[in-house]
Structure 1
Amino acid sequence: MLLSASALASERGADWQIGPEIRGKNYSVGVPRVMADSDDGPAFVFPADPRGQVKYVTRETGSLANARSLTIRYRIDASEGTRFVANERPSSPAMISLYFQRRGDNWSAKNRHASYRWYSVSDKTLPLTPGEHTITLNFRDEWGAVMGAQSRGNPAFEDALENAERVGFVFGWSGGRGHGVHATGPARFTLLDFEIR
């Protein structure tokens, strides 16, 4: 079932899980398990401690086999001088990427599970900066799998779309899309719109 922009804009923050949670452990640290409700949409505050990090923000979805694109519109409010830091590679720009995941992923990234998680490629990611931003990615554009496989002409990509379980966005750097980000000062992320067409 496809989720419309208007439906998602009115949904509760609790529909958006901050994680990932794998075998009972949440790998985002220093943030709640779900986004909070706000007047403008679901929101969270970035951890301002280098020991904290936000990695994946996802919600359940059905099959994406008939979908054409994903669009996210979001706003980052941050105090002056606040920087965003990729925990794994602090010297690289901290980025946001679109993301979806196939049902049945065991998070090993091995064998068939190496193509269960798909991320927007470099030209469809954005460095984290204050302000309002939009990213749109067509499902016929190039996507990258967790272990580097490309989507174009790849049956595993089509299988992941058909059997999609979660969709959303991740924080990290260009070489580790969902490997975590923190801020150096007060900073808030608000999801203004998330559309599956």
Structure 2
Amino acid sequence: MLTLRQFMALQTGRLFPPWRLNECSDVRPLSFGRLLGLDVSLKAKDWFFYYGNMPNSPKALASGVGWYFDFPRDVDGPHYLYTTHAKPITANNLTMTLQVVITSGSPTFDPADTTVRPYIQREGDNWTGTGEYQFYRWWSNPIAFRLEWWSNSDPQLRIGITNLIVPLKPDHWSSVLGRRGDEDASTLAGFQSALKNVQKVGMTFGGGGSFGHGVTVSGGTVRFILTDYSVY
């Protein structure tokens, strides 16, 4: 039976009942999106890091479906990690299934409020975040996986899979400048256009109010494993 602390952690961390897996397990629950064939590529070679002291792509799991990477220690780590998905998104939800594993020491994350969260990016983005381009990238908000909560939690709660389920509704996403998709007519149009003209989907790492400005790990080493990323 779960303790009150464990129950609250499961709820606030969006952590669903854990499966005990090893560091690079090939066992993963099938999402509705994958069963329906509306999934995003899980091949490591189709995913790319943008910025930070990272390789070009993560490493494949033994099955070839899903991937992992190790956070670099004491240097600027991952910022953006994306794959191409150049077709309109008309689904109701986006799901991301992940596992985070300590591989040595007692690691901590900087910034202190570090998160990893899904993001979508519209075709033609010039990365300035100004003018119309403030609506070309959208982040899941408030739903995210809080890495600082994970690193400071009871070790028993770290074992298992975390499944983020994000409704593809404007009130669950915010823009480059932090404006929610349902704020007004302009943000709603920007969010809807991004879904219609999407080019990339993926995740970003950051904190301190900057969702994609990267994270640093110190005091140990950490592995990040992705076993599913779907829209359905």
Alignment partner of 1:134 out of 156, 163, 167:
163
Bigger helix share: 2
Counterpart mapping for 1:61-72 below 5 A: 61-72=85-96
Q: Distance in 1 between matches of 2:190 and 2:123?
A: 12
* Greater than 6 Å deviation, 4+ residue runs: none
Q: Percent identity of the aligned residues? A: 28
What is the aligned residue count?
A: 179
Matched, 1:12 2:43: yes
Q: Which moved more, 1:96-105 or 1:129-138?
A: 129-138
Asked whether the 8 Å contact 2:68–2:226 carries over to 1, the reply is: yes
TM-score normalized by the length of structure 1: 0.83
Deviation at 1:163, TM superposition (A): 0.2
Asked whether the 8 Å contact 1:9–1:192 carries over to 2, the reply is: no
Deviation at 1:53, TM superposition (A): 1.3
Q: Which structure would you say has the larger Rg? A: 2
Structure 1: which amino acid aligns with 2:221?
P
- The SS at the match of 2:106 is coil
Matched, 1:189 2:224: yes
Matched, 1:145 2:175: yes
Q: What CA RMSD, in Å, does the superposition of the two structures yield over aligned residues?
A: 1.9
Deviation at 1:192, TM superposition (A): 1.1
TM-score normalized by the length of structure 2: 0.71
Q: Distance in 2 between matches of 1:169 and 1:143?
A: 13
Q: 1:150 to 1:44 in 2, by over 3 A?
A: same
Structure 2 residue runs of 5 or longer lacking an equivalent are 1-32, 151-157
**2:122 match:** 102
- The SS at the match of 1:113 is helix
Q: 1:10 to 1:97 in 2, by over 3 A?
A: closer
Deviation at 1:63, TM superposition (A): 2.9
Q: Distance in 1 between matches of 2:125 and 2:41?
A: 29
